[in-house]
Amino acid sequence: MIRWESQGPYEVVFTTREGGVSDGPYASLNLGRRTGDDVERVDENRRRACDEIAADAERLALNYQVHSAEVLPAEAGRRGDRHADGLWTDQPGLPMLALTADCVPVALARANGATPAVCVIHAGRIGVLAGILAAGVAEPYRQRFGAKIMSGRNLDLPSAAEQALQDAGVDRVERFDLCTACNPELFFSHRRDGKPRGVQGVLAQIA
């Protein structure tokens, strides 16, 4: 797991595929129950991820992700019954998880104001264009973000997400710049493997 050392009372990790109990195409830290993996193994993987930030896995909150621009307030233990691609909270001890395969996992932490708040986002090409950081093809991305956002006919999704965050007023953006498709030992990737395959994610809570 990759820990984000953010300022403030935040615990944030970006998971990899290492350190879990799943096997086959889900080996080993698959966090997605809708992937075809054994749900008991997925639940154990989620417990292990929560342990990494000293979080209570029973309170873990997730959305049913649909490539939207919706960000909802997290509710402890509420999982998969609301369609959205982001969760936020200002409640300490409420862990949230956003899942990704090739999309960009984003964590936002409030650095100003009296109350800490944290947000996790599944940022795919549709959600980024629609404003979560319009199903689109290359031209709408060029129109919104400029020609440099494209590499040939491929979208530079991390750069699009970074620019969207800056446009929204985020003061500091930190990137890990790790390619999911290029690192099979570290990450699940739909681009590389198709299905079946697992998912990793970003997990955060206020300590």
Q: What is the mean pLDDT of residues 19-30?
A: 98
- Tell me the average pLDDT of the chain: 89
- pLDDT score recorded for residue 138: 66
What is the spatial distance between Cα 106 and Cα 175, in angstroms, rounded to a whole number? 9
**CA-CA-CA-CA torsion for 166, 60, 23, 157, nearest 10 degrees?**
-10
pLDDT level of residue 144 (50, 70, 90 thresholds): low
- Listed range (40-54, 93-107, 111-125) with the worst mean pLDDT: 111-125
- Listed range (87-101, 105-119, 139-153) with the worst mean pLDDT: 139-153
Whether residue 63 is predicted with pLDDT greater than 90 in this model: the reply is yes
Higher pLDDT, 16 or 141: 16
Whether residue 140 is predicted with pLDDT greater than 50 in this model: the reply is no
The b/e string for 13-51 (b: 16+ C-beta within 10 A; e otherwise) is: bbbbbeebbbeebbbbbbbbbebebeeebbebbbbbbbe
Hey, CA dihedral for 52, 56, 58, 63, is it positive or negative?
negative
- pLDDT score recorded for residue 142: 58
What is the spatial distance between Cα 158 and Cα 55, in angstroms, rounded to a whole number? 28
The backbone region for 100, taken as left when phi is positive above 0, alpha when psi lies in -120 to 50, beta otherwise, is beta
pLDDT level of residue 135 (50, 70, 90 thresholds): very low
pLDDT level of residue 157 (50, 70, 90 thresholds): confident
- Residue-wise pLDDT for 163-205, tens only, equals 888 888 888 999 999 999 999 999 999 999 999 999 999 999 9
Whether residue 72 is predicted with pLDDT greater than 80 in this model: the reply is yes
At the top level of CATH, the class of 2-206 is: alpha beta
The answer to whether residues 7 and 174 touch, using CB atoms and an 8 Å cutoff, is no
C-alpha neighbours within 13 Å on the C-beta side of residue 12: 22
pLDDT level of residue 153 (50, 70, 90 thresholds): low
What is the spatial distance between Cα 131 and Cα 125, in angstroms, rounded to a whole number? 10
What is the spatial distance between Cα 39 and Cα 42, in angstroms, rounded to a whole number? 5
Q: Please name which of 191, 13, 182 lies closest in space to residue 95, comparing C-alpha atoms.
A: 13
- What is the three-class DSSP state of 141? helix
Task: Please state, for a pLDDT cut of 90, what percent of the chain lies above it.
Answer: 68
